[in-house]
Amino acid sequence: MHQAYLYDSIGVMTTQDVVDRLNNSKQVRKVKLRIVQRWAAGNGVAYTGEGRRKDFIFTEADYERFLNREKPGRRWEKE
């Protein structure tokens, strides 16, 4: 069974799934994979693998926390 099908069946997303979902959304600016990975590593998102080969497993709650995160820097717009 392909990994993506397994994750879909249990209601979680991989890091790449999160990036694809965000980049297909019209209300969110383009997001890079590295930004999602850094946020996940620092915010307790479950993962598989070790070291640089970690694959983060996002739940809907993790996805919502990512959307509502504090966005540092002057390039981000305040809502």
Residue 72 lies in a domain: no
Record the pTM: 0.72
Does residue 62 carry a pLDDT above 70? Answer: yes
Residue 63 inside a domain? The answer is yes
Q: Is residue 73 part of a domain?
A: no
Q: Six-digit token pair at 39?
A: 């946020």
**47-48 sheet: strands from edge to edge:** 13-14, 55-58, 47-48
Residue 78 reports pLDDT greater than 60? no
Contact 45, 31 (CB under 8 A): no
Residue at 9 is within a domain: yes
**Is the predicted pLDDT of residue 1 greater than 50, yes or no?**
no
**Among the residues of 24-59, which ranges form H helices?**
33-42
Query: What's the CATH code of the domain at 62?
Result: 1.10.10
**Domain assignment of residue 60, given as a range:** 3-67
| Count: domains in the chain | 1
Q: Is residue 79 domain-resident?
A: no
pLDDT band at 2 (very low <50, low <70, confident <90, very high): very low
Average pLDDT, the chain: 80
* 75 confidence band (pLDDT: 50, 70, 90): low
Residue 61 pLDDT > 70, yes or no?
yes
Tell whether 77 is covered by a domain: no
Rg of the chain, C-alpha, whole Å:
13
